[in-house]
Structure 1
Amino acid sequence: MAELDKEYILSLTEQAEAGSPEEQYRAGLLFAFGEGVPVDLVLAHKWLNLAAMNGVAEARESRAEISMDMSPQEIAAAQKMAREWCLAH
């Protein structure tokens, strides 16, 4: 797969940050698979968690899958990031 366009990645993360559940889900997958960005399971979990809280059913499954490859400390860090995002928005 070709490297993703940096403008697309920036737009996607901006929309996720703005609260779009679908873009939060896509951002989670982006960081989970490292498509155009370094793999970052903590960020992936954060975005998938937010998408799941906002009604994206697939995000729950994806979050559960990546959680199997994360330490309890990484999961706690991702959950903290998601809580902080909720408080700020």
Structure 2
Amino acid sequence: MGSSLKTAQFLIDSRLNDAACGNVQACLDLGMVYSSGAQGQAVDLIEAHKWFNLAALKGDERAQECRAEIAEEMSAQEIALAQKQARAWLQMTSARAA
């Protein structure tokens, strides 16, 4: 069990690194993980919305659909928080690239 948790965390960390490099698929994958509770993660619609939003900003249509779908289950405050977190991620990763 401990080994599978380590593997799951490695996969999440790998996707985070790829997302930081601008990989749209990594953002979509992270949105899927947090919206479904995969890879040992708890369902977190705010985090999922953030990742779907980041992928959607890069033109991913599937991410746009997923973002809209989970937004139906979220309050306006939760969506605003997810958008704020997405902006913070963009600022952080653009600062790293500079």
Say yes or no: TM over 0.5. Answer: yes
Q: Normalization by structure 1: what TM-score?
A: 0.88
In structure 1, C-alpha distance between the alignment counterparts of 2:25 and 2:43, rounded to whole Å: 20
Larger Rg: 2
User: How many corresponding residue pairs?
Assistant: 88
TM-score by length of 2: 0.81
What is the match of residue 53 of structure 1? 57
Q: Which amino acid aligns with 1:37?
A: Q
1:87 aligns with 2:91: yes
Q: Confirm whether residue 41 of structure 1 aligns to residue 63 of structure 2.
A: no
Which is helix-richer, 1 or 2?
2
Distance in 1 separating the partners of 2:15 and 2:76: 28
Residues 1:11 and 2:14 are matched in the alignment:
yes
Percentage identity across paired residues of the two chains: 42
Q: Give, in whole Å, the separation in 2 of the partners of 1:20 and 1:47.
A: 11
Give me the whole-angstrom Cα distance separating, in 2, the residues matched to 1:84 and 1:6: 22
Extract structure 1 runs of 4+ deviating beyond 6 A: none
Alignment gaps of 5+ in structure 2: none
